[in-house]
Structure 1
Amino acid sequence: MSRPPAAADVVVVSNRLPVDHSDDPAEPWRRSPGGLVAALEPVMRSTEGAWVGWPGTADLEVAPFDFDGMRLVPVTLTAEEIELYYEGFSNDTIWPLYHDVISPPGYHREWWDAYVRVNRRFAEAAAAVAAEGATVWVHDYQLQLVPRMLRELRADLVIGYFHHIPFPAYGLYSQLPWRRQVLDGLLGADVIGFQRVADAGNFARAVRRQFSYETRAGAITVPTADGGRRIAIAKAYPISIDVSLYDELARRPDIQARAREIREGLGDRKILLGVDRLDYTKGIRHRLKAYGELLAEGRLNVEDVTLVQVASPSRERVGAYMQLRDEIEQAVGRINGETDTVDYSAVRYLHHSYPREEMVALYLAADVMLVTALRDGMNLVAKEYVASRVGVDGVLVLSEFAGAADELTQAIKVNPHDIDGLKDAILAAVELSPKDQTRRMRALRRRVREHDVADWSERFMLDLEYLRGQRA
């Protein structure tokens, strides 16, 4: 396959480009929010590589363009492909299956056919823009077939894949009708990265069960088309954030003033904070139930404490998400109706997305951060909260089912399914002494500083370069 003159030595491939399309002719593209964009932006700036992805609008055909120091290569998706590949197979089959079947997945052949077709288009776009011997880094569950397709198109490439969500235990994974095809697609990569050691172990066990390949200490022996063998690395690389950015924002006088304004507007009470996409995996209903019961029992009262719940819109055309929004809004209305006074409200529910500066102000204002995910690959919000607590105070309540729990060991750990235990943890966080807050937060901040996004990407890239050397 021919390559363009300005081929890139590093190519990132993800479902979405790191920009959103705008109708403003003066500013047709705007940087998009999200954990993946925040995590990869420093990598892209340092390499001046290319980023392949969908621009976020159906049937939009755009030539490659430069944005903020990055070369962006748009992949066009039709409205039907968005419905079948993205809303269907990616988010109504893979997402619920990989999140412990909290919501039942659907298995439809037309969804799978669209997934294969779109994955091939992404692979072809990446192959076309990559320089000879380039490194291509594929991201997440929407593109699990791309590594194998890329290897078939360009044997010269070094291919990495990072899986941002959990990888399920074999008993759940085996339900997938196309389980062998997906595993084979992932095994096209030289390095297959996961958030947790347990996820990498689940993947290795699935490979053994389906293919009987040898797996040992994160190394998988994979047959090659010419009858030989190669080694693929499959292990954990916990993703992180740009810690210095959040630290700098949290020290800005205007953001600190905004945090004080938020506290004053809420009546200078203890502030509990939840920040999530509106998703059934995030445990928002469990959080509200526990908080509502604490108020009803008189263990907390609305004059002393409030919950601010930011729930950014997500997948609003998927039925399970529409139902979830209704349930959460009803729960908020019930709690407020039963406990509000003329002067104080129990829950401030915000169904919006906010810019990073406003989020840091919220992190600074909040006394307690509640992360109650039922299943989460990592949860970068927990790390953002810690990085923003420049006063070395505040309390993180963290689900043991979030990947961040493996690293942030000084958080107050909870099982969100245990409502009584969750209630006790919330009460303990509200009542934690300043001395204990400082002790815990100092350890948490040390951990996120030592293992930031640069450390994450460097460790992944070092393993890719190691395998490049093994080829020579």
Structure 2
Amino acid sequence: MSETATGVSVKGANQTGGAAGNNSFVVVANRLPVDMITEADGTKTWQASPGGLVSALSPVLEKHQGCWVGWPGVADESPEPFRTERGVLLHPVELTQYDYEEFYEGFSNATLWPLYHNLIVTPEFNRSWWDAYRDVNLRFATEVASVAAHGATVWVQDYQLQLVPGILRQLRPDLTIGFFLHIPFPPPEIYRQLPWRDEMLRGLMDADLIGFHLVSNVRNFVELCRSYDFEISGDITIREAGITITTPSGHKLGVGAFPISIDTSAMATPTASGSHEEADEALEQMHLDMGSPSTVFLGVDRLDYTKGILQRLLAFEELLDSGALDPADVALVQLATPSRERIDSYRITRSNVEEAVGRINGRFAQIGRPVVHYQHRSVSKDVLMRYYRLADIMLVTPFRDGMNLVAKEFVATRADSSGALVLSEFAGAADELTQAHLCNPFDIEDTKKAMLQAAWGLKDNPEMMKERMASMYNQVMEHDVDLWASAFLSALDKARA
């Protein structure tokens, strides 16, 4: 296959120099950073996929010219390894439709996801899902073992692949293995509900370094390990492996907090294509199309029950109902990316959100001018950047979130210190973006208060608001994805040594 219009260069493995045993740096994640697109004539092409993990890891792989092992996103498809135009080798792992349903929709997202997000919905414990999870993790580990050079560094990503470090250690003891969890790690009393808790923990303990976003996640993990009588020494640190755990076999691994961030250089220009003037004109037209509201609230989320989308809509509705916000003067834009739509809890979430959008517009909108602008589909990076710049107030109100890179992306577009951020205290980003208007998303009154504080602050105390945004902007720009990756990989080298 040749280079496509999406900018991803697709080549056969032989043309790239081969995939087997030739890569000194390997990232393994559930998904490859591309989506397969099938054209009307049956031609298959690739385009870069959105998402926090992709935006965080792509620059790291490009820098190391490494190999990314993952599923291409289409069941029963097994394309040959190929390279992106930036030189990253993508090595696909085939998953069947059964694997997708049992391993991904089942164990990963109906068992582990709700368990690790503090039981926002009840996890399901299904033995056939667990069998599929073990099988798929073995498959991923086997593929990594086949592409990694002797002594290579392997960086395993996230909750879908927690057994990979243990399997990989058996297959390839020469490898240096790091594991990073991109979602929260729950308190031990919640984790212990998992029927396969011992096997899952053993899968992690053969890594050389385990990284989490937050100190609180490390604390939960260390407390769990104490109950297993592992030898634990050191103190919890940020961007270092301050904790050392020694297993009964004598294996030592480091544990630390490594807050993930964004590629700030990608946020530095108004749009990836076109001039500043064209970007300004596009923004002006978007604002005009919305009826030129004086205050634009923005939410950008996967349509997931952890994100608190419904609750922020209810808070907005009550502010309109009470007269605290004038429906003729404000608008809320909610971009909701489709997510895991075959899982019941996600279907219910979508139904409730879309019902609320319709009700709010029915009550407060004028003909031709909705007060809530809702879109349930993905948007391009260019369009997303425009929405970030269009917004006066960003709403990031998840019930629980490992970090939330949307909050950091919004702040990174604010070089002029404009705007405000309403942020859940239960998002990992709240540990760093302390000048945001923090709220408890479980408390609609508290969410309303934060939204009003942001709106009134922009109107009545603009200088103070600029200081708050400038502080967050500096924090994000100084602690970018390169710092996250370099800190983790440096700590991994030390832990293995």
Same fold (TM over 0.5): yes
- 1:216 equivalent to 2:234? Answer yes
**Residue pair 2:176, 2:208 contacting (<8 A) in 1 also:** yes
Counterpart amino acid of residue 302 in structure 2: R
- 1:7 equivalent to 2:25? Answer no
Q: 2:253 aligns with which of 232, 236, 243?
A: 232
Q: 2:280 aligns with which of 241, 247, 256?
A: 256
**Residue pair 1:194, 1:200 contacting (<8 A) in 2 also:** yes
Q: Match of 2:483? A: 455
- Listed as ranges, the matches of 1:28-43 within 5 Å are 28-43=45-60
Q: Match of 1:434? A: 462
- Distance apart, 1:207 and its partner CA: 1.4
- Listed as ranges, the matches of 1:9-158 within 5 Å are 9-24=24-39, 28-68=45-85, 69-158=87-176
Distance across 1 between alignment mates of 2:297 and 2:126: 41
- Do the aligned partners of residues 428 and 223 (structure 1) sit closer, same or farther apart at CA in structure 2, a change above 3 Å counting? closer
TM normalised by structure 1 equals 0.95
Instruction: For residue 251 of structure 2, give the secondary structure of its aligned residue in structure 1.
Output: strand
Instruction: For residue 86 of structure 1, give the secondary structure of its aligned residue in structure 2.
Output: helix
Counterpart amino acid of residue 173 in structure 2: A
Distance across 2 between alignment mates of 1:324 and 1:4: 42
Q: 2:319 aligns with which of 287, 290, 294?
A: 294
Instruction: For residue 28 of structure 1, give the secondary structure of its aligned residue in structure 2.
Output: strand
**Residue pair 2:422, 2:437 contacting (<8 A) in 1 also:** yes
Deviation string 1:269-319 (CA, Å, 9 cap, x unpaired) is 110000000000000111011100000111111111111011110001111
Distance across 1 between alignment mates of 2:226 and 2:270: 47
- Do the aligned partners of residues 174 and 431 (structure 1) sit closer, same or farther apart at CA in structure 2, a change above 3 Å counting? same
- Do the aligned partners of residues 212 and 61 (structure 1) sit closer, same or farther apart at CA in structure 2, a change above 3 Å counting? same
- 1:466 equivalent to 2:487? Answer no
- Distance apart, 1:222 and its partner CA: 2.8
Deviation string 1:26-58 (CA, Å, 9 cap, x unpaired) is 761111111111111111111111110001111
Distance across 2 between alignment mates of 1:211 and 1:254: 62
Counterpart amino acid of residue 289 in structure 1: L
Counterpart amino acid of residue 158 in structure 1: T
Q: Match of 2:450? A: 425
Q: Match of 1:331? A: 356
| Greater Cα shift, 386-395 or 313-322 | 386-395
- Distance apart, 1:4 and its partner CA: 6.2
Instruction: For residue 268 of structure 2, give the secondary structure of its aligned residue in structure 1.
Output: helix
Instruction: For residue 300 of structure 2, give the secondary structure of its aligned residue in structure 1.
Output: strand
**Residue pair 1:98, 1:165 contacting (<8 A) in 2 also:** yes
**Residue pair 1:219, 1:231 contacting (<8 A) in 2 also:** no
**Residue pair 1:9, 1:130 contacting (<8 A) in 2 also:** yes
Instruction: For residue 210 of structure 1, give the secondary structure of its aligned residue in structure 2.
Output: coil
Instruction: For residue 83 of structure 2, give the secondary structure of its aligned residue in structure 1.
Output: strand
Q: Match of 1:415? A: 440
Instruction: For residue 214 of structure 1, give the secondary structure of its aligned residue in structure 2.
Output: strand
- 1:398 equivalent to 2:435? Answer no
Distance across 2 between alignment mates of 1:342 and 1:171: 52
**Residue pair 1:302, 1:344 contacting (<8 A) in 2 also:** no
Distance across 2 between alignment mates of 1:249 and 1:186: 41
Distance across 1 between alignment mates of 2:487 and 2:331: 41
Distance across 2 between alignment mates of 1:135 and 1:465: 9
Instruction: For residue 21 of structure 1, give the secondary structure of its aligned residue in structure 2.
Output: strand
**Residue pair 1:187, 1:222 contacting (<8 A) in 2 also:** no
- 1:363 equivalent to 2:388? Answer yes
Distance across 1 between alignment mates of 2:186 and 2:20: 42
Q: 1:354 aligns with which of 337, 362, 379?
A: 379
Counterpart amino acid of residue 50 in structure 1: C
Counterpart amino acid of residue 200 in structure 1: V
Deviation string 1:174-229 (CA, Å, 9 cap, x unpaired) is 100011111111111111111111011111111111344424324233337xx5x2
Instruction: For residue 406 of structure 2, give the secondary structure of its aligned residue in structure 1.
Output: helix
- Distance apart, 1:359 and its partner CA: 0.5
Q: 1:384 aligns with which of 370, 389, 409?
A: 409
- Do the aligned partners of residues 26 and 77 (structure 1) sit closer, same or farther apart at CA in structure 2, a change above 3 Å counting? closer
- 1:247 equivalent to 2:264? Answer no
In structure 2, stretches of 5+ residues that fail to align are 1-17, 236-241
Distance across 2 between alignment mates of 1:159 and 1:239: 19
Counterpart amino acid of residue 33 in structure 1: P
Instruction: For residue 29 of structure 2, give the secondary structure of its aligned residue in structure 1.
Output: strand
* Count of equivalent residues: 464
- Distance apart, 1:5 and its partner CA: 6.0
